[in-house]
Amino acid sequence: MNAQNSRTVAAAALALLVCCSAWAQQAAEPATVPAPKARAKAVIQIWLAGGPSHVDTFDPKPDAGVDYSGPLVSPIQTNAPAIKISQLLPLLAQQADKYSLIRSMTHGDDGHETAAYVMQTGHVPSDDVVYPSLGVLVSYFKGYDRGYKSVIPPYVVLTASLGRFNETGFLGQRYKPFVTGGNPNQAVFAVEGIFTLGISDQRQRNRRDLMHTLDSLGKAMPGNPAFELLDRTEENAEATLGDARKLFDLSQEKPELRDRYGRTQFGQSCLMARRLVERGVPYITINYGGWDDHDRIFEKLRLRLPDLDKGLSALLQDLSDRGLLDSTIVWCSGEFGRKPKLDWDPPWNGGRNHWGSCFSVLVAGGGFKGGRVVGESDAKGERVAERPVYPPDLLGSICELLGIDPDGPLPNSREMKLQVMPSWNNGKEGKDLGRLKELMN
């Protein structure tokens, strides 16, 4: 190995520390905004990318007829009197006292990119401004420029980027999420910049020692401030990487607990999210894709829903058992629901299209009450029948529980008068509209 390759290895080992330093040192001057009292410390967002079917999960319609319900005609009564859910979610049925369901979520957008933007930011897309996602907002208001000290960035995505739009918006790259990569269900969770598959810790140490042996310039200039800074940075990076390796090493968890979450990428991501909450990370997204079921939806749901059921139910129970649920918001949604009326014609053979007119969201913890239902869809799940909930209502409620003023200003370099969350209804449609006060403790 030559000196150049050795330095390349060392540079890779320093990647996480350098990234964290950039986030911390380049942070913009925070705005002085009076904030509501925080009831939540962290958020776990379970993003069901592609758009899950609400009528096959959290808002079943067994009496709507086979063209709407398909074969799923036996919803389960949960441990909360107000809630019945899909027969394919028996474990979540036992946890309903810990979560509530919004069955009247709506934005009317059926495009993946634009609907994802609306659900993640609370704002309608425009040519003038690209708003940051909720995770990035939390990174701004609860991150390094507000006293956050951890070497793990304040916004972590497990395990792939959301990808539908630029999450940072006008706030810029210094608030971008740390996307782990890798698969926590593998023997080694190969987190970007922390683990390298095929290279043991001993081999990494041997490479570092070899780099020091080949560093003739550093030896020739002892006491040089630049080299001393590099040495200190390397020492900090080693401490950082060692600490981070322990955090992302799921083998430290009991095998039976890992089994309870499910030995799948999603299940182990849920367990990893709990570990990040314990570490003090304020926002974690689990990006769980594959829900864009245009064809043969029931075949796919019978494979995928048990995975969601096991991982999410274990997460709720584990957070509760550890006394973390009261301070941790969990919300589960996609960019939209799916069309309630099935398309039986080839090549769809029982598929559902995109549906932004009415769909469901699960919320739990961090100040949200459990065992309740907000809103109602019509008899077929096609339209909102009662109490529409818009994206800024949901996201604004989460902000409020985190101690972020959803009506406060959002600083920007163009000095525009921007608000953290907009209001879509302006009080025109009834006194019960707006943020989820009926669910907030």
pLDDT tens for each residue of 231-258: 556 555 555 677 888 999 999 999 999 9
For residue 366 the two structure tokens come to 């961090």
What average pLDDT does this structure show over 274-290?
A: 98
The predicted pLDDT at position 59 comes to 98
Range name among 187-191, 327-331, 400-404 with the lowest pLDDT average: 187-191
Q: What's the mean per-residue pLDDT of the chain? A: 88
The predicted pLDDT at position 154 comes to 97
What pLDDT digit, counting tens, does each position of 6-48 carry?
A: 444 344 444 444 454 444 444 444 444 457 899 999 999 999 9
Residue 200, domain member (yes or no)? no
Residue 383, domain member (yes or no)? yes
Is residue 184 within 8 Å of 269, Cβ to Cβ? yes
Residue 36, domain member (yes or no)? yes
Residue 229, domain member (yes or no)? no
Residue 425, domain member (yes or no)? no
Residue 242, domain member (yes or no)? no
Residue 80, domain member (yes or no)? yes
Percent of the residues in the chain that have a pLDDT greater than 70, as a whole number: 81
**Whole-prediction pTM value?**
0.86
Top pLDDT among 50 and 218 is at: 50
Number of domains in the chain: 1
From CA 24, how far away is CA 174, in angstroms rounded?
Answer: 8
Residue 407, domain member (yes or no)? no
Look up the domain containing 333 and give its range: 31-195+248-402
What average pLDDT does this structure show over 155-163?
A: 94
Q: Is the peptide bond before 159 cis (omega within 30 degrees of 0)?
A: yes
CATH number of the structural domain spanning residue 106? 3.40.720
Confidence of residue 375 (pLDDT cuts 50, 70, 90): very high
The predicted pLDDT at position 14 comes to 45
What average pLDDT does this structure show over 61-89?
A: 98
